[in-house]
Amino acid sequence: MSDLSGKLGLVVGVANKRSISWAIAQAAAAAGARLALTYQTERLEENVRELAATLTNAVVAPCDVASDEQLANLASTIDREFGGLDFLVHGAAFAPRPELTNPFVETSREGFRIALDVSAYSLIGLTRAVLPLMERRGGGSVLTLTYLGSQRVFSNYNVMGVAKAALEASVRYLASDLGPKNIRVNAISAGPIKTLAAAGISGFSEILQVYRERAPLRRNVELGEVADAAVFLLGPGSRGITGEVVMVDAGFHAVGV
């Protein structure tokens, strides 16, 4: 039920080989999907193209998710290359570094705007851009990535926690909006994983240790475990699931003191 043979997918948020989005791309490709990957800046383009070259017949395109023009151009590229789209993986998130190091009460108006725009609104913008392509295929699946910091306070996560809360609310509203079109919208809330984004959070190593000590499975999750859950949510096995935040965190979310 995780077979993606013949499916066409778009994966946004690949930065390097340690990205969660890249792990999902690899798993989806292994399940039979043909993919398009995006890069945000020229600095990341080489990395993404090298990774895409390891997949079969993948498409690579630029996309700054904060630009409506680039979202429209991306949709045009997907239309030209694929003619339709079965799933979207949204892995874009960003907050200016000072917003992750200063006390939360010092969050700047501009830093708040950027974090919410890139990390939450971009899901709406991307989904709207590719909606006609999914409708052409009779429906589809949209998947985004969140974190428990949306519900609980984690040191130095700050405005990203607020952005992830907005992202999860967006998942529910999009799921309600697009369900009649046979488009499902879900999120995976993964445990902490050493990624490029995580490197910007002070004290991240301590968070990893707390998870190892307190999670019911007494360990951290691996990229492959998140990717496997993603392929399930993108495929026919999850056809009755939408508006959901699926926890893939070794059970940490279920534990109290």
Pick the catalytic residue: 121, 147, 173, 211?
Answer: 147
- Using CA atoms, how far apart are residues 74 and 60, in angstroms rounded to an integer? 10
211 is a catalytic site residue = no
DSSP assignment string, 34-86? EEEEEESSHHHHHHHHHHHTTSSS-EEEE--TT-HHHHHHHHHHHHHHTSS-S
Which SS3 state, helix, strand or coil, does residue 248 take?
strand
Check if 147 is active-site. yes
Could you tell me if 239 and 179 are in contact, meaning their C-beta atoms sit under 8 angstroms apart? no
Three-state DSSP at 145 gives strand
Amino acid at position 28, single letter: A
Q: Which two tokens stand for residue 61?
A: 């395109």
Q: In terms of Cα–Cα distance, which of 2, 131, 4, 18 is closest to 56?
A: 4
- Pairing, β 245-248 against β 87-90: unpaired
Exposure pattern of 240-255 as b/e (b: 16+ CB <10 Å)?
A: eebbbbbbbbbbbbee
Q: Any bridge partners for residue 184, and if so which?
A: 141
Longest Cα–Cα distance in the chain: 53
The residues carrying an active-site annotation are 147, 157
